[in-house]
Amino acid sequence: MANQSQLSHAHGGDGARTSAGDISARDVELTDATGRVGAEDLRWIGTHAHAALAALGLAGVVRVKVIDDAEMTSAHAEFLDDPTTTDVLTFDMSEDGVLDVDILVCLDVAERQGRDRGHAARRELLLYIVHGVLHCAGYDDHDEESCRRMHAREDEVLALIGAGATYQGERDEP
């Protein structure tokens, strides 16, 4: 894994690592399979993803892998029979209200969307993580009204944790 950077944020209610049996524990494992996300950005994403779980009142483990268009296209074709790239794929194995989630997020899509929306790719990647977690919390985006509610909740959480509304929200300063 010479090209991969990995970061883990694990906290219980008091900020210390807790046992796997503690349902208040939150663990965000972030791996950059592209080798293109800087260490500072990985820390920022991991810290804010952890804060998002806390803001949503969710506990458990969320494993996030940052990949490129080629790998996302392959995964999208394999799991959803769609041979195109996408922003995020979520694999929810949660039980009894405790998160056990694998999330794939696409850096290439994040870079393009971030440019179009006027913010850094790290904010876009964080949006994708929050989006994936919200799916696990029962949110859906398959019709116009549920999509509107989901994106509003994403921006609400992102603003609450200090990352700034991202989907419909604020632009980074130049």
Q: What is the pLDDT of residues 43-56, one digit of tens each?
A: 999 999 999 999 99
Residues 105-132: what's their mean pLDDT? 97
Question: Helices 69-80 & 107-117, crossing angle to 10 degrees?
Answer: 110
Tokens of 119: 């913010």
Whole-number Å distance between alpha carbons of 77 and 129 = 20
Question: Do residues 66 and 105 touch, judged by C-beta distance below 8 A?
Answer: yes
Residue 59 has pLDDT above 90, yes or no: yes
What confidence tens digit (pLDDT) does each residue in 79-95 have? 999 999 999 999 999 99
Question: How many Cβ atoms sit within 10 Å of the Cβ of residue 101?
Answer: 21
What's the start-to-end Cα distance of the chain, in Å?
34
Is the pLDDT higher at 25 or at 96? Answer: 96
For residue 70, the model assigns a pLDDT of 98
Task: Please report the domains of the chain, with CATH numbers, ordered by start residue.
Answer: 5-160 (3.40.390.30)
